[in-house]
Structure 1
Amino acid sequence: MKPIALSLIAMLGFAGPAAAHFPFAVPSGGHFEWVLFNAWGRAPPAEVIYPEPPPVAPRDWLTQWGAIAVDEGSRSVGTSTQVASQSEAELEALQLCAREGGGGCKIVLVYRDQCGVLARGGDVYASARGPDVPGASDLALEQCTRSAADCEIAYTDCAYPVPVY
């Protein structure tokens, strides 16, 4: 008797929760299902799948700026994007243009919370801004082809506002 009692105690108390589960038939919807209960009368926790939380709307948006600088003499171009202020965007574009060898760099486009495009055909530059690259590209190419025949897009980028949560 003692060996049986000791083995039962070992199984229930000392072997851990995984060894202490017993199957029982439980009525469910007119039929019986086998359910595992542990030694303390509770079913093991089922896997819980939580739905994805709904997206949270941002409480604010941070404006972003971009700029394009060109030196037509040396054909140097400098650009900036996703910058916090207009003055920072212009300064960065001018510095990058000068680093590319431009001695007479000038800002040709500043854009805020939208896209900027630069088209080039020969020695002609044209720029445009818009809500997306295809629309701004069409405008820049249209403007460029008024003065040059071989226009193509030289630069595109977007400075979209950044959400703040």
Structure 2
Amino acid sequence: MLASASWAAVAQAEQGCPDGQAPIGRQPGPICVPQPGYGVGGPSPIQQQPNVRQPRWLDRWGAIAIDGVAQKMGTAADKSSSRDAKNAALKDCQTRGGSAQECKKTLLVYRNGCAAVALGADFVATSSAGSIEEASERAQKDCNANSTNCEVLYTPCSFAVLVD
């Protein structure tokens, strides 16, 4: 007798709603709405989703230092900071025979991308961009606007590194 009484209560509570739905409102016109999470085996849209870890990237820096008088160039790539890249390029320029003063005059520091150096008859152009092609095009255009016989000679890249 107890089993039949509780079965009657369930049947009355559903009030004609299909499985996975429950009535809301009062008679004579309750409406059926979906029960959160019913039949999907996972969290309902209402329940909070677990946090998904986002990938973590570390910036990478590069630099180019040029002594136009002595025609010496120093470079650095894949450094963890702009300061490290700049200092390494300046040191490299001086190690190759450039003067400290002149190496600082043409100094390009770039992050998570590429650089290009174009050399003309009497002008050096540098540029940075997201790709070698774009950096080269910009350096070539700048050089052509200021000199003749321009040619892109150097195109390094330093891209961000995925750590997670």
TM-score with structure 2 length normalisation?
0.64
> For each residue in 1:65-93, what CA deviation from the matched residue of structure 2 results, as whole angstroms up to 9, or x when unmatched?
00010101001000111000000000000
User: 1:138: how far off?
Assistant: 0.5
Gaps of 5+ in 1: 1-56
Gaps of 5+ in 2: 1-52
Cα RMSD after superposing both structures = 1.4
Q: Does 1:81 align with 2:77?
A: yes
Q: Which contiguous aligned blocks of 4+ residues in structure 1 show a shift greater than 6 angstroms?
A: none
Residues 75/60 of structure 1: CA separation in 2 closer, same or farther (3 Å cut): same
User: 1:58: how far off?
Assistant: 6.7
Alignment match, 1:63: 59
Does structure 2 conserve the Cα–Cα contact (< 8 Å) formed by 1:58 and 1:163?
no
> For each residue in 1:99-129, what CA deviation from the matched residue of structure 2 results, as whole angstroms up to 9, or x when unmatched?
1110121152110011111111123110111
Give the residue type in structure 2 aligned to 1:61: W
Alignment match, 1:11: none
Residues 158/58 of structure 1: CA separation in 2 closer, same or farther (3 Å cut): farther
- Count of residues in Structure 1 that have an aligned counterpart in Structure 2: 109
Taking the aligned partners of 1:164 and 1:58, their CA distance within structure 2 comes to 11
- Determine which structure has the larger strand proportion and give its number: 1
Taking the aligned partners of 1:123 and 1:154, their CA distance within structure 2 comes to 15
Alignment match, 1:27: none
Alignment match, 2:34: none
Taking the aligned partners of 2:159 and 2:92, their CA distance within structure 1 comes to 21
Taking the aligned partners of 2:94 and 2:141, their CA distance within structure 1 comes to 28
Alignment match, 2:144: 145
Alignment match, 2:135: 136
